[in-house]
Chain A
């Protein structure tokens, strides 16, 4: 079975703090893809990053960074120097190579207070 677990339901930080959102996945596929999406209060899912199972290099994009570790089946997301505009629900998702559908975690609600 394929599954994504985001154990943190809600996180609250003060602006400028660093915050890490955890994601653990389960799959028997040898080729798969992992995603992070952001869902602000407006409701639309915004794509942040895609990572395939062959590429374990960590990635940094501005204040965002991602740590992919196949050994622990984790794909964690860190926001450095958080801002109020980062407040949203963040979803981690898994897609197997032989299907198109995404399997989402339950999401982590991040609240950044000024």
Chain B
């Protein structure tokens, strides 16, 4: 497809479990962002990749959260020892290479529910 894709669309897990959320950016977009959107709130920044490296991870809430982008395309957000407070929609966005003025295009999100 032409847009950003995210899998799974929904994920239900139990407290304490490990989860992985996947993002496939628009082809040719080298910048990739993860955001988290809690119910009734605007998205909040988590981490930004330029190519394979995390250029800004200041939004990750704690060390249970980690993200990788090993080949500069697909990214995986990993959450260890999930807590009920991690329940949210996790959004991924991508942008064209190297130009901050370009727009971020968002995927449909993964709704994570921690029971």
Chain A interface residues (CB < 8 Å from chain B): 4, 33, 35, 37, 42-47, 50, 52, 91, 93, 95, 97-107
Contact = CB atoms under 8 A, between A and B. Distances in A.
B22 interface: no
A102 B56 contact: no
A65 to B, nearest CB: 19
Interface range for B: 20 to 34
A91 B59 contact: no
Contacts of B48: 99-101
B105 A100 contact: no
B44 A104 contact: yes
Interface stretch (B11-19, B62-70, B73-81, B96-104): B96-104
B85 to A, nearest CB: 18
A45 B106 contact: yes
Given A42-B108, A45-B91, A99 B56 contact: yes
